[in-house]
Structure 1
Amino acid sequence: MTGAPLAMLELATELLSCGATVYVVPLSKRGGLMSELSRRKMKVLEDKSDLSFKTAMKADLIIAGSAVCASWIEQYAARTVLGSSQIAWWIMENRREYFDRAKLAFNRVKKLIFLSESQSKRWLAWCAEEHIKLKTQSALVPLSVSDELAFVAGIPCSLSTPLFSPEKMLEKRQLLRNFVRKEMGLTDNDMLVVSLSSINPGKGQFLLLETTRLLTEGAPPLNRSAVKSQDYHKRTLLHNWKQFGEWKKESSTEVLQLPQVFAKGVNYKAGTENDRRTRKLFSLTEGKQGEKLKVLIGSVGSKSNKVPYVKALLNFLNQHSNLSNTVLWTPSTTRVAALYAAADAYVMNSQGLGETFGRVTIEAMAFGLPVLGTDAGGTKEIVEHNVTGLLHSLGRPGAQVLAHNLQYLLNNPLERQRMGSKEERK
């Protein structure tokens, strides 16, 4: 469970802890949401049932937690004379298709709330294009680290007690790190880089794998485009997702090609001086201190994954078996604290518009991990370049910069610690 449902679940939990009465109207029941609502003993109402609308009319506050709430808001507005005075709409998406889906309901609510400055500017610019004037000024409310995660990270929070003080939790975090790394088969000489999200083109996992291959084998990038056509990653950057649904109709036995990820202007012909320098620089993914790179990608079990894209990644790994010693997978990300504790750095490689905000980015920072992120969306607002992490550009050119940034952290463990300490204080 990720994104809007998780954010709303945590918000509901906080409201309950303050003594509020909370009713949840889930628009989607996927990803373990319902079992978690049951575990937390939250009252659930069916979406679009009369009971949900009648209950909402009696509420002091209605918080809609996604652009996809537009239909519910429209139906609620048609049933009540209360107007928009109760509704705060916390929008968590950043693509135009979500704006188009939601725009007719903007003035049905009291307040629009965004996650990041970049998202806010983009949506307000679209409003201007469509000549939509909001009734009130929008607000900015970014996500935060949950108390449960902060507690494990050793950050003071509501769960801290004299017996489990932040200092003692930091000691336990180190024990957790040692245990998890041992279970993974890692040594003190391994630099574990983690990237956690649903697996789809917009998250940039293939670019990360190709970067890892360059570091592992000192090899040039692929000369052929990857998933079906030369413009695949261009489509990702332009958010043309229409053709993606057609892949589901393809035979599962069809070989999916993999994307070319580096800039066209770079010459990687075998035997060239440039290629020899690249191989020398990235030889064996080993840093000056003898550290070796390990990359953990998750979550393989997410219901939000794009199956054809996952198949393409697995096909790529089959073609480059040497990566099997470097790339690790996690089936789910329900126990993220343990993964953050075991890691040495975090990669946020989202493409296109980037992350709307980046929940996992701030979670990784809470555990003192330097973040290697794309210079886009919410990531560039969270990560301070050369202070709390390193930024790289989108797409093919950015993949090569990411390779250099990974090598830099591999060569400089003290620099990783410096960036991580800045993040924990932030």
Structure 2
Amino acid sequence: MVKQSSEWAVMQKKRWPLLLLLLFSLSTAFVFLLRSAFDSCSTGAVSGSRNFVGEETYPSNGVLYTPSLKPNPLEFMRSKLVLLVSHELSLSGGPLLLMELAFLLRGVGTEVVWISNQKPAEPDEVIYSLEHKMLNHGVQVFSARGQEAVNTALKADLVVLNTAVAGKWLDAVLKENVPRVLPKVLWWIHEMRGHYFKLEYVKHLPLVAGAMIDSHTTAEYWKNRTQDRLGIKMPKTYVVHLGNSKEMMEVAENIVARRILREHVRESLGVRSEDLLFAIINSVSRGKGQDLFLRSFCESLQIIQERKIKVPTMHAVVVGSDMNAQTKYEMELRKFVAEKKIQERVHFVNKTLAVAPYLASIDVLVQNSQARGECFGRITIEAMAFQLPVLGTAAGGTTEIVVNGSTGLLHPAGKEGVTPLASNIVKLATDVEKRSEMGRKGYERVKERFLEDHMSQRIALVLKEVLEKAKSRSVS
């Protein structure tokens, strides 16, 4: 059997470290979110790395806002009514990002209403938990269908549609009221997979007040794809890079908390303090590239053995598994590990909201999303906050986060990336100074541009413009 860990269940055996952690951190309870968990998107053509210092205008038709930090940049949203429409409520990246926006708005006194367009017929523990988190923050949760949803959309100052799939809600619920609501819609798009480009989802896209997208790569892909495949034009598009939550940064910057978490997680995994841990933290799916990562890891072990390189014992950690689902893909991963006889080196961990303990316990993050890569990749900037070097695919939003050779190393997506990734694993395994230097530079990059304050300022500038546009349309 492959060695496994069930997130915090094992860690509860010794509770004193968690009690200590509460003394050193204001709040780790909502240490935000395995965002990519999972699956904000999975995708984006290979793109060269960009330097955005001082850049303000996105050449096609959007804007990347470089903020000057100010207190409460969303203060102007006080007493506004905002309707947030998500295609679902789950542990995937899109819904969790929208929840974070809900909490930021509630923090300045915005009246926020949440709607999940798709909900299972049977009670769901995850949905129940997330809805109660929102209710505890003062977010109202309404049914996606019915007159209450229609009335809220008509009264709202702003409607945020989250992900392309949420577009189905417009015709299904608003019906003849769609034209009245479109002028105040901000469409927040995270997807880059081809199957999201359906006219039934996005036919109203040209008429909304604006689109907000997480990376330049994703924005360019949407602009070209909608025009070439669907014959429609994107509205004004704002590129808004994401930022780490304050809770996440508090843990990342707390040396004592990190040490406690590191020791405890490693103990639960059965690895020593001196061992090297390379981790991939994403929902387990083929698009996230866990299979290719394990092939690269296995190849790196062979290189080390053949060249007789002396390095600490290396382990691969796969966080984002679903032991209950036991999908065909997950079974393939376990079969590969068994065939290669590396069961003692590979550890599967169930998906969890609490990613901070694993970031504190590992030495290198592997971001191996395939095809067009991640549209942004929140876990990447979270790892950089923990001063971890990142080994990422040279695709999608990762190229806008990781500076190749400085904060990490990039490799091609696909099978052709297996050997380069294996080589990069060996490079970092044999050079502790390089790991430390890359981690430090990654942390500095996060502090410069990937904090919650940065994201709030960027979003605030977008919301101001969208609200002004909606107001002018209503007057005219």
Corresponding residue for residue 263 of structure 1: none
The RMSD of aligned alpha carbons is: 2.1
2:287 is aligned with 1:202: yes
Q: CA shift at 1:302, angstroms?
A: 7.8
Q: How does 1:251-262 map to 2 (within 5 A)?
A: none
Q: CA shift at 1:392, angstroms?
A: 0.3
Q: Helix, strand or coil for the counterpart of 2:422?
A: helix
Distance 1:279-1:153 versus aligned 2 partners, 3 A rule = closer
Distance (whole Å) between structure 2 residues aligned to residue 118 and residue 395 of structure 1: 18
Q: CA shift at 1:13, angstroms?
A: 1.2
Corresponding residue for residue 72 of structure 1: 169
Q: Helix, strand or coil for the counterpart of 1:84?
A: helix
Q: CA shift at 1:354, angstroms?
A: 0.8
Distance 1:182-1:194 versus aligned 2 partners, 3 A rule = same
Corresponding residue for residue 116 of structure 1: 215
Q: What is the TM-score normalised by the length of structure 2?
A: 0.69
Q: CA shift at 1:151, angstroms?
A: 1.8
Corresponding residue for residue 182 of structure 1: 267
Aligned 8 A contact 2:223 2:233 in 1:
no
- Comparing 170-179 and 401-410, the one that deviates more: 170-179
- Comparing 104-113 and 416-425, the one that deviates more: 104-113
Aligned 8 A contact 2:258 2:360 in 1:
yes
Q: CA shift at 1:217, angstroms?
A: 4.2
2:226 is aligned with 1:127: yes
Distance (whole Å) between structure 2 residues aligned to residue 187 and residue 371 of structure 1: 22
Q: Helix, strand or coil for the counterpart of 2:373?
A: coil
Q: Helix, strand or coil for the counterpart of 2:329?
A: helix
- Comparing 5-14 and 66-75, the one that deviates more: 66-75
Aligned residues: 345
2:383 is aligned with 1:364: yes
1:92 to 190, 199, 205: 190
Q: Helix, strand or coil for the counterpart of 1:72?
A: helix
Distance (whole Å) between structure 1 residues aligned to residue 302 and residue 128 of structure 2: 44
Deviation string for 1:182-205 (max 9, x for gaps)? Answer: 332222321111111111111111
AA of the residue aligned to 1:371 = V
Distance 1:151-1:49 versus aligned 2 partners, 3 A rule = farther
Aligned 8 A contact 1:192 1:296 in 2:
yes
Deviation string for 1:124-150 (max 9, x for gaps)? Answer: 01233243234x421111222122212
Q: CA shift at 1:77, angstroms?
A: 5.9
Corresponding residue for residue 384 of structure 1: 403
Distance (whole Å) between structure 2 residues aligned to residue 33 and residue 371 of structure 1: 32
1:308 to 319, 323, 328: 328
Q: How does 1:291-306 map to 2 (within 5 A)?
A: 291-301=312-322
Aligned 8 A contact 1:375 1:392 in 2:
yes
Deviation string for 1:59-94 (max 9, x for gaps)? Answer: 111111111111112343632552422210000101
Corresponding residue for residue 193 of structure 1: 278
Q: CA shift at 1:299, angstroms?
A: 1.3
2:140 is aligned with 1:46: no
Q: CA shift at 1:319, angstroms?
A: 1.7
1:36 to 110, 130, 133: 130
2:328 is aligned with 1:212: no
Q: Helix, strand or coil for the counterpart of 1:121?
A: helix
Q: CA shift at 1:27, angstroms?
A: 2.5
AA of the residue aligned to 1:207 = L
Aligned 8 A contact 2:266 2:272 in 1:
yes
AA of the residue aligned to 1:280 = E
Distance 1:361-1:302 versus aligned 2 partners, 3 A rule = farther
Deviation string for 1:10-38 (max 9, x for gaps)? Answer: 11111111111111101344782431221
AA of the residue aligned to 1:405 = N
**Identical pairs, percent:** 31
AA of the residue aligned to 2:337 = L
Corresponding residue for residue 4 of structure 1: 94
Distance (whole Å) between structure 1 residues aligned to residue 410 and residue 295 of structure 2: 18
Unaligned 5+ segments in structure 2 are: 1-90, 446-476
Corresponding residue for residue 264 of structure 1: none
2:339 to 319, 322, 329: 319
Aligned 8 A contact 1:66 1:91 in 2:
yes
AA of the residue aligned to 2:313 = K
Corresponding residue for residue 436 of structure 2: 417
AA of the residue aligned to 1:311 = M
- Comparing 91-100 and 336-345, the one that deviates more: 91-100
Corresponding residue for residue 141 of structure 1: 240
Corresponding residue for residue 15 of structure 2: none
Distance (whole Å) between structure 2 residues aligned to residue 171 and residue 320 of structure 1: 37
Corresponding residue for residue 280 of structure 1: 306
Q: Helix, strand or coil for the counterpart of 1:85?
A: helix
AA of the residue aligned to 1:105 = H
Distance (whole Å) between structure 2 residues aligned to residue 171 and residue 214 of structure 1: 35
Distance 1:63-1:34 versus aligned 2 partners, 3 A rule = farther
Aligned 8 A contact 2:153 2:181 in 1:
no
* Structure showing greater relative contact order (alpha-carbon pairs closer than 8 Å, 6 or more residues apart): 2
- Comparing 105-114 and 403-412, the one that deviates more: 105-114
Q: How does 1:146-185 map to 2 (within 5 A)?
A: 146-154=245-253, 169-185=254-270
Aligned 8 A contact 2:252 2:258 in 1:
yes
AA of the residue aligned to 2:219 = S
- Comparing 292-301 and 75-84, the one that deviates more: 75-84
Aligned 8 A contact 1:27 1:69 in 2:
yes
1:57 to 154, 158, 163: 154
AA of the residue aligned to 2:298 = R
Distance (whole Å) between structure 2 residues aligned to residue 195 and residue 335 of structure 1: 14
Distance (whole Å) between structure 2 residues aligned to residue 345 and residue 122 of structure 1: 30
Aligned 8 A contact 1:199 1:299 in 2:
yes
